[in-house]
Amino acid sequence: MKTPENLKYGKTDEWVKMDGNIATIGISDYAQDQLSDIVYVEFNKDVDEAVKKDEVLSTIESVKAAGDVISPVSGKVLEVNEGLSDKPELLNDDPYEKGWVCKVEISIPAEYDALMSAKEYESYCAGRH
Amino acid sequence: MFIPHTEFERQEMLKVIGKDSLESLFSDIPEKYRFPKLDLPPALSEMEALQELTELADANNSCDELICFLGAGAYNHYVPAAVDMLLRCGDFFTAYTPYQPEISQGTLQAIFEFQSLIANLTGMEVSNASHYDGATACAEACISAYHHFRGKRTKILISPALHPHYSDTIHTYLGAIDKIEIADKSENIQIDSPQFLVEQVNENTALVIIQYPDFLGRIMDFTNLGKAVHDAGALLAVAVNPIALGLLKPPSEFGADFVVGEGQPLGIPMSFGGPYLGFFATRNELIRKISGRIVGETIDGKGNRGYVLTLTAREQHIRREKATSNICTNQALMALAATIYMSLLGKSGLRKVAELCYQKAHYAAEQIAKIPGYKVNKDWVFFNEFVVEYPADPKIINDFLLHEGVLGGLDLGDYYPEEKNKVLFAVTEKITRGDIDILTNLLQEVGND
C-alpha cells in the first residue's frame, strides 16, 4: 500500500495535497484496493459550488460496492476531474496522480492541519483489520 | 401441503441449533398469540372448491363474450396462441427473478431480447429489464430525473392528459419527498397540452411527463415542447401505447429522454388489471440513474455467447442507500410474453395491428357521429381511442349496452367531473364491422328514449 509522505489523509480514506490555498483531493491506494475495480464516478458538486467539510464530493461505484468521496475540507470547488467519467479505472491505476477527484479552494486551513500524516494514516489503516 | 423436509432432517437441524422442538423456535411470541383460533368454514375437497370458484368466476362477464369498447390503459387485443404456449414452458414459468443471474442463461437471454425489442420500438438507446406496470415505469422516470439533477431541480411537471392512475402513482412515489413539487392540473384535461406545458417549464423543472397518444386518445405534435424542455435544461418523459408506435413516429424523434409505458397490449390478457408489464427506455447518458437491471450479451472464456447482468447500478444489493429505487424485481414472465408477441408479429405485423386499430376506430367514430344526439370531436387527431359525448348519463347508456352484451367506453366523469356525459371509446383489431353496427344500433335505440 502506497501512502505518499507529502499528502495528508482523512478517516474516510481521502488524500489531500495542498498547493497554496488549493487542495487537490483524491482517494487513497488503500481505498481503491478495498473497492476493487471502479466502473463509475459521479460528481455530486459542480464547479464553483461551495462545499462544507464532510459533504459528499463524488460517488464512486465499483463492481462490488458504491462509496462516497467525502470532502475533508470546506471551500469552493474549482475543478473536477472530468477524465474519470470516461476512464474511472484511473482511480485504481494511479490514485495519487491521474486519479485525482476534485480541486477545492479551501476556506478553513485548520481543517487541513487536523488531517492525518502519512504515518498516522498507515497505522490507522493497519488497525482496521 | 408440500413440505420438503423429512422429520429426520428437522430433528437434525434442531440438534445443530440446540433446540428440542419446532415450537421452541417461537418461544419469543407470547403463547396466547402463537396459535390463534381461526374462524373458518369447514374445509372443502378440491372438487367442491373448484365448483365454488367456478360459480364465482361465472358471475363475471369477460371480454371473450362481450364486445369490448373499453380501453383507457388496458386493451383487448388478440393474443396469439403461441404466446401462452411458450410462456408455460416450465423453465420460464416457474423461474423467479434471477438472484444468481448467470446460471439462468435462458432467463437472461429472454430479458436481453425484450430489451432489444423495446429499444427498437421506442427508438431509444437502452431499455431496462421491465417494471410492474406502466404507472410504475412513469414514476421511475420521475425518480431518475430527480436524481439526475441531484435534487437541484425539484419540479416534476405532469401533463393534464397523462393517465390519472399514472399521475396518482407518481404522487404516491414522490409525494413524501418534501422538496419535490409535482405540478399537475388534472381539471384542465381538455387543454391543448403542449403549449400549456411549454409555458410552465422553467429552470427548476427536472422532468416533463406527457402521454402519446394522450389519455383522451389524441395525437399531438410535441416537437416544440421537446425543444422548450431541453432549452430549459430539463428532461422529457413520454408514456406511450406500444401498439401505436407501430404507426406513429417514435418519441425519440421529438426529443424524449425517457420512453415508458404499459406493455399489456403486447400479448398480455387484460386479466382484471394484472399482472401487467412496465417498460422503460432511455438514452445511454442516463443509465446510471435508472432503476432496475440491464442484461448484456458477451462471450465467455471459451468464446461462447453468453448473457450477464451488465448493469444493476441503482439496485439495492450494491448499497441500499445509494439506490435510485429499491425495485429489483422485474416482470420477467410478462416481459417474455411481450417478447414472444413482438417476435411473432415483427415490424410489419405490429404495423398491421396498429393500422387495423386506427382504421376501425375511425370508422366507429364516423358511424357514432352520425347518430342524432351523439357528438364526436372531429378536430382531434387520434389513434384508436376517441371521446364521445352522450345525450344522457353514461351510466344509464352503458348499463343498457352491457345488458345487450356490449362493454361501453369509460365514463370520463368518474375522473373529471366537468367532463359530464363524455365517454372514452377504444377500438382494437378484434372489433369487427358487425360489432360496430351492433354498437351504433344500440346507441341509437337508447338515445331515442
For B149-213, the DSSP string reads TTTS--EEEE-TTS-HHHHHHHHHHHTT-TT-EEE--GGGTTS-HHHHHHTT--TTEEEEEEEES
Query: Chains A, B: CB contacts under 8 A, how many?
Result: 14
Average confidence (pLDDT) over B196-221 = 93
For the segment(s) B67-78+346-447, the CATH number from 3.30.360.10, 3.40.50.2020, 3.30.565.10, 3.90.1150.10 is 3.90.1150.10
Q: How many CB atoms lie within 10 A of CB B48?
A: 10
Using a CB–CB cutoff of 8 Å, tell me whether B322 touches chain A. yes
Interface of B with A in 365-404 (CB under 8 A): none
**Closest residue to A40, CB basis, from B150, B313, B319:** B313
Using a CB–CB cutoff of 8 Å, tell me whether A59 touches chain B. yes
pLDDT tens by residue, B365-410: 999 999 999 999 888 899 999 999 999 999 999 999 999 999 999 9
**What is the residue range of A41's domain?**
22-106
pLDDT tens by residue, B69-100: 999 999 999 999 999 999 998 888 876 666 67
Q: Nearest residue on chain B to A40, judged by CA atoms? A: B288
DSSP code at position B225: H
User: Quick check: is A6 in a domain?
Assistant: no
CA-derived radius of gyration, chain A: 13
Q: Round to whole Å and give the CA distance between B351 and B266.
A: 13
pLDDT tens by residue, B259-270: 999 999 999 999
Q: Tell me, what's the pLDDT at B22?
A: 87
User: Quick check: is A100 in a domain?
Assistant: yes
pLDDT tens by residue, B323-335: 666 665 668 899 9
Inter-chain residue contact A40 with B322, CB threshold 8 Å: no
Using a CB–CB cutoff of 8 Å, tell me whether A61 touches chain B. yes
Grid cell digits, residue B73? 390503459
Each of the 129 residues of chain A gets a pLDDT tens digit; together they read 899 999 999 999 999 999 999 999 999 999 999 999 998 898 989 899 999 999 999 999 888 788 899 999 999 999 999 999 889 999 999 999 999 999 999 999 999 999 999 999 999 999 886
Please report the DSSP string for A97-126 in residue order: TTT--EEEEES-HHHHHTSBPHHHHHHHHH
On whether the B81-342 domain is CATH 3.30.565.10, my answer is no
Domain limits, chain B? 67-78+346-447, 81-342
User: Quick check: is A31 in a domain?
Assistant: yes
Inter-chain residue contact B318 with A65, CB threshold 8 Å: yes
Q: Measured between beta carbons, which residues in chain B are less than 8 angstroms from residue A65?
A: 318-319
User: Quick check: is A26 in a domain?
Assistant: yes
Q: What CATH number does residue A96 fall under?
A: 2.40.50.100
What integer best gives the mean pLDDT of chain B? 90
Burial class (CB in 10 A: 0-12, 13-18, 19+), B27: exposed
Nearest-CA distance A127 → chain B (Å): 25
Inter-chain residue contact A44 with B150, CB threshold 8 Å: yes
Decide: B294 and B115 in contact? Cβ < 8 Å. yes
Inter-chain residue contact A66 with B150, CB threshold 8 Å: no
Split into its structural domains, chain A has a count of 1
Q: Round to whole Å and give the CA distance between B375 and B359.
A: 19
pLDDT band at B320 (very low <50, low <70, confident <90, very high): low
pLDDT band at B196 (very low <50, low <70, confident <90, very high): confident
User: Quick check: is A111 in a domain?
Assistant: no
